[in-house]
Amino acid sequence: MGVKSRTRAEKRKELKKNMAFAVLNNLPTSPRKMRLVADLIRGKRVELALHILKTNPKHPAIRLHKLVLSAIANWQTKNEGMRIEENDLFIKEIQVDGGRILKRIQPAPQGRAHRIRKRSNHVTIILDSLNKPEPGMEESVKEVKTEVKAQKEKKAPKAAPKAAAKGTPKTRAPKASVKTKTAPKAKAASAPKKGTNLKSNNKKG
């Protein structure tokens, strides 16, 4: 075995240790018929998937129902002391692959023979929980909290000058009164202009 294939095999083993899955090999039904049922439960929660498979009249649903139960049992063995209701298990992946094909012959008229292909499939189901904590999540949360506290402590002394800056516009209130005094001057200047227009009109008359 080469180095690359060995490292890949080791990574697969590490992933399978924390992964809850179940495999069913050489199921004597065609993959096409099995995929019709598998598509109904893909991405659904475990409780809903079991209900769908229990009420489905198709024959592959019986085998899939048992396979989902075995996947749940595998998850419980790998996660001892945890409840299914609290973790919200759902079907993360479901794969249906073609298995071995048994070739048989059916006799036909005039001495001929028709080939019969008895197909089979392999089904794999992988479960996962919605409330699963990501690896290293708790440490990252603690680091973020410490950074936020440090930023708040730095911003705390700068709050005093900001309050003083906000108080300065209130002292500029008398400037607004100065602007109001200039308003009547504009009216006084406009009054003689109206008078000049009247005098000019009288002279012409």
Q: Do 20 and 74 contact (CB within 8 A), yes or no?
A: yes
How high is the pLDDT of residue 96? 95
- Of 83, 66, 64, the closest CA to residue 75 belongs to 83
CA 29 and chain centroid, separation: 35
How high is the pLDDT of residue 138? 55
How high is the pLDDT of residue 98? 94
pTM: 0.59
How high is the pLDDT of residue 79? 85
CA 32 and chain centroid, separation: 30
Instruction: Walk along the chain (205 residues) in steps of 10 and give the mean pLDDT of each run.
Output: 84 81 93 95 94 94 95 90 84 94 96 95 92 59 70 62 51 50 49 49 47
How high is the pLDDT of residue 85? 79
CA distances from 119 to 27, 29, 60, 150, 194 (A): 9, 6, 13, 65, 107
How high is the pLDDT of residue 140? 57
How high is the pLDDT of residue 141? 57
If you classify domain 12-131 with CATH, what class do you get?
Answer: alpha beta
Structure tokens, 186? 């504009």
Domain boundaries, the chain: 12-131
How high is the pLDDT of residue 127? 93
Q: Rg of the chain's alpha carbons, rounded to an integer? A: 41
Beta bridge partners of 23: 124
CA distances from 90 to 60, 111, 116, 129, 191 (A): 20, 54, 38, 6, 86
How high is the pLDDT of residue 172? 56
How high is the pLDDT of residue 22? 93
Residue carrying structure tokens 């080791």:
10
How high is the pLDDT of residue 18? 79
Q: In what order do the strands lie in the sheet with 89-98?
A: 20-27, 121-129, 89-98
